[in-house]
């Protein structure tokens, strides 16, 4: 496992994160446990702030990758904006006191209630995804006596090389208005004709876990082509170009993402050059990173419960979590690295496969990891779990979801409580006819 952020081996010979001994963390908070390295998270925010915001651009943290009240506070303190995609994410931001004039509201099927909630909150931008949403937002904005500021989500027809389910820029996608077939142009016309909508700019998100900057370069040019057309046809000025998120991170050997500075250099320069070429005023550049901010800063700790050796076949090491706290391997075939937190420097003399404890053969966290032969009671650390783990966690088999802690300078603080069994049945209702006398 590659050590990143504040990870190191401490004097006791254990993995340390944020100055905290992870074996002690496992003891005091229990496992599975999500551990967020606060300094690393903040430094990822700062890389974006320095590369974008300091140059008149704006980095918008994608809350879908990881959002809790404490995470909202950190993102706010670091000066980034926030992308929310649901009433629940918006509610979290509101409860955390996140400034609504830095909130962007996404989603391909926002409900009327969610839109009313966002209008009342005064979110900064609605990223509009469909013709039906144009109608609905215009109607609800009129009812609220408001003008909604809109970015139109467009699909530029770019194929980013990543997993099918996390690839979103191609034409055959549920997201956005297609550019090549003229629907994007129609959407621009439609928004410009509405009294209660103000079209501020154009948006696209071409995919996730991307290692190649070229698709961003292509996307910027294609979006600006639509902006030029709208300028020629309506005299409309595109104030903002949002190129979405998508920068990849290191999960395992061979994952070698470009730096945030390289991303900024590419997109800011491309937007500037293309705008000049098209004789357009240079729009403000927006990006929406999620994974590259929260992902590397998270580590999950598990306890080894069983070690099953099938001679000449495989060693299965079962831990006390799995697809419920990290569905990504089962869903996308994602690959992770791990180490034994209580023996990180010991020679890796075994090849083992890390199994979860969910009733599903596909619940395998890592195949063929090189480790010292694990023993019952060892603490296993899986790195780069900060993004799309907690936010995609589930209660399959009625396992409670883990706690999350923030570690920094030797202090560990709870930011999400571990679910209890009582939490699991909190929303269950027994109809009267099924009641027992003591219910
Ligand atoms: N903006 C939009 C409009 C998006 O749809 C997404 C991610 C982002 C920004 C942030 O992208 P990022 O920088 O995190 O790549 N659950 C999948 C990822 C789904 C991404 C969905 N959209 C996974 O675990 O890989």
**8: pLDDT strictly greater than 80:** yes
Average pLDDT, the chain: 96
Q: Are residues 350 and 410 in the same domain?
A: yes
Q: What is the mean predicted confidence (pLDDT) over 176-199?
A: 96
Last residue of a domain, one of 289, 306, 339: 289
Note the pLDDT of residue 269.
Answer: 95
Confidence class for position 163, pLDDT limits 50, 70, 90: low
Domain membership of residue 126 (yes or no) is yes
Domain extent for 24: 8-37+297-424
**172: pLDDT strictly greater than 90:** no
Note the pLDDT of residue 304.
Answer: 98
Domain membership of residue 50 (yes or no) is no
Tokens of 133: 């949403």
Domain membership of residue 398 (yes or no) is yes
Q: Are residues 279 and 374 in the same domain?
A: no
More confident residue, 82 or 217: 82
Note the pLDDT of residue 162.
Answer: 58
Whole-angstrom distance, CA of residue 71 vs CA of residue 394:
20
Q: Are residues 263 and 301 in the same domain?
A: no
Q: 334-361 burial string, b = 16+ CB within 10 Å, else e?
A: bbbbbbbbbbbeeeeeeebbbbbbbeee
Residue range 25-47, pLDDT digits in tens: 999 999 999 999 999 999 999 99
CATH number at residue 196: 3.20.20.10
Ligand 1 atom closest to Cα of residue 388: 24
**239: pLDDT strictly greater than 70:** yes
Q: How far is CA 382 from the centre of its chain?
A: 18
Q: Are residues 380 and 401 in the same domain?
A: yes
Q: What percent of the chain has pLDDT over 90?
A: 95
Note the pLDDT of residue 205.
Answer: 95
Whole-angstrom distance, CA of residue 40 vs CA of residue 359:
35
Identify the residue whose C-alpha is closest to ligand 1 atom 11. 245
Q: Is 382 helix (H, G, I), strand (E, B) or coil?
A: strand
Q: Are residues 175 and 254 in the same domain?
A: yes
Residues with CB under 6 A from ligand 1: 62, 64-65, 83, 106, 166, 168, 205, 208-209, 244-247, 288-292, 328, 332, 387-388
Residue range 348-385, pLDDT digits in tens: 999 999 999 999 999 999 999 999 999 999 999 999 99
**165: pLDDT strictly greater than 60:** no
**161: pLDDT strictly greater than 80:** no
This prediction has a pTM of 0.97
Tokens of 235: 């005299």
Query: If you measure from the C-alpha of residue 291 to the centroid of ligand 1, how many angstroms do you get, rounded to a whole number?
Result: 7
Note the pLDDT of residue 166.
Answer: 53
Confidence class for position 159, pLDDT limits 50, 70, 90: low
Note the pLDDT of residue 157.
Answer: 85
Q: What is the mean predicted confidence (pLDDT) over 307-330?
A: 98
Q: What is the mean predicted confidence (pLDDT) over 75-91?
A: 98
Confidence class for position 125, pLDDT limits 50, 70, 90: very high
Q: What is the mean predicted confidence (pLDDT) over 319-344?
A: 98
Q: Are residues 241 and 339 in the same domain?
A: no
Tokens of 216: 């961003």
**How many other C-beta atoms are found inside a 10 Å radius of the C-beta of residue 212?**
13
Domain membership of residue 337 (yes or no) is yes
Answer for the pair 379, 25: CB distance below 8 angstroms, yes or no. Answer: no
72 is catalytic: no
Answer for the pair 357, 391: CB distance below 8 angstroms, yes or no. Answer: no
Q: What is the mean predicted confidence (pLDDT) over 179-204?
A: 97
Note the pLDDT of residue 429.
Answer: 97
**194: pLDDT strictly greater than 90:** yes
User: Would you call 52 exposed, middle or buried from its count of C-beta atoms within 10 A (0-12, 13-18, 19+)?
Assistant: buried
Query: If you measure from the C-alpha of residue 376 to the centroid of ligand 1, how many angstroms do you get, rounded to a whole number?
Result: 36
Ligand 1 atom closest to Cα of residue 328: 24
Local structure of residue 402 (DSSP, 8 states): P
Ligand 1 atom closest to Cα of residue 65: 14
Q: Are residues 304 and 377 in the same domain?
A: yes
Peptide bond into 32 cis (omega under 30): yes
What is the sign, positive or negative, of the torsion defined by CA atoms of 26, 30, 33, 39? negative
Q: Are residues 268 and 352 in the same domain?
A: no
Q: What is the mean predicted confidence (pLDDT) over 113-142?
A: 98
Domain membership of residue 58 (yes or no) is no
Answer for the pair 224, 274: CB distance below 8 angstroms, yes or no. Answer: yes
Report the number of distinct structural domains present in the chain. Answer: 2
Whole-angstrom distance, CA of residue 86 vs CA of residue 108:
10
Tokens of 206: 């071409």
Domain membership of residue 269 (yes or no) is yes
């Amino acid at each position: 496992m590659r050590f990143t952020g504040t990870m190191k081996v401490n004097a006791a010979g254990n993995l340390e994160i944020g100055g905290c001994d992870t074996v002690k963390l496992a003891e005091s908070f229990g496992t599975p446990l999500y551990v967020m390295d606060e300094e690393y998270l903040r430094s990822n925010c700062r890389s974006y702030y320095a590369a974008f915001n300091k140059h008149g651009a704006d980095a918008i943290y994608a809350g879908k990758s990881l959002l809790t009240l404490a995470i909202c506070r950190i993102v706010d303190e670091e000066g980034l904006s926030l992308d929310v995609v649901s009433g629940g994410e918006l509610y979290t931001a509101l409860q955390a006191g996140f400034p609504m004039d830095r909130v962007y509201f996404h989603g391909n099927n926002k409900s009327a209630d969610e839109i009313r909630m966002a209008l009342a909150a005064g979110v900064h931008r609605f990223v509009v995804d469909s013709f039906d949403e144009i109608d609905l937002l215009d109607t609800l904005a009129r009812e609220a006596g408001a003008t909604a500021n809109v970015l139109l989500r467009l699909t530029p027809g770019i194929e980013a090389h990543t997993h099918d389910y996390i690839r979103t820029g191609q034409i055959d996608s549920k997201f956005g208005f297609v550019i090549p077939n003229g629907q994007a142009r129609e959407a621009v016309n439609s928004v410009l004709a509405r009294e209660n909508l103000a079209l501020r700019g154009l948006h696209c998100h071409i995919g996730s876990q991307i290692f190649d900057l070229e698709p961003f370069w292509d996307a910027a040019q294609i979006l600006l082509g639509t902006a030029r057309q709208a300028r020629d046809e309506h005299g409309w000025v595109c104030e903002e170009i949002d190129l979405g998120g998508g920068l990849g991170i290191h999960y395992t050997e061979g994952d070698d993402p470009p730096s945030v500075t390289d991303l900024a250099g590419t997109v800011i320069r491309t937007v500037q050059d293309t705008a000049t070429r098209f004789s357009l005023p240079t729009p403000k550049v927006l990006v929406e990173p999620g994974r590259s901010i929260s992902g590397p800063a998270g580590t999950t700790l598990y306890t080894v419960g069983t070690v099953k050796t099938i001679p000449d076949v495989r060693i299965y090491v079962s831990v006390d979590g799995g697809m419920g706290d990290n569905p990504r391997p089962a869903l996308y075939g994602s690959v992770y690295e791990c180490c034994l937190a209580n023996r990180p420097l010991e020679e890796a003399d075994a090849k083992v496969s890390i199994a979860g404890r969910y009733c599903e053969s596909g619940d395998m966290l890592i195949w063929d990891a090189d480790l010292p032969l694990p023993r019952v009671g060892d603490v296993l650390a899986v790195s780069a779990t900060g993004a799309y783990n907690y936010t995609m966690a589930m209660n399959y088999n009625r396992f409670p979801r883990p706690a999350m802690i923030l570690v920094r300078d030797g202090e560990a603080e709870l930011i999400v409580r571990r679910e209890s069994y009582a939490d699991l049945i909190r929303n269950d209702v027994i109809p009267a006819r099924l009641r027992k006398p003591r219910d």
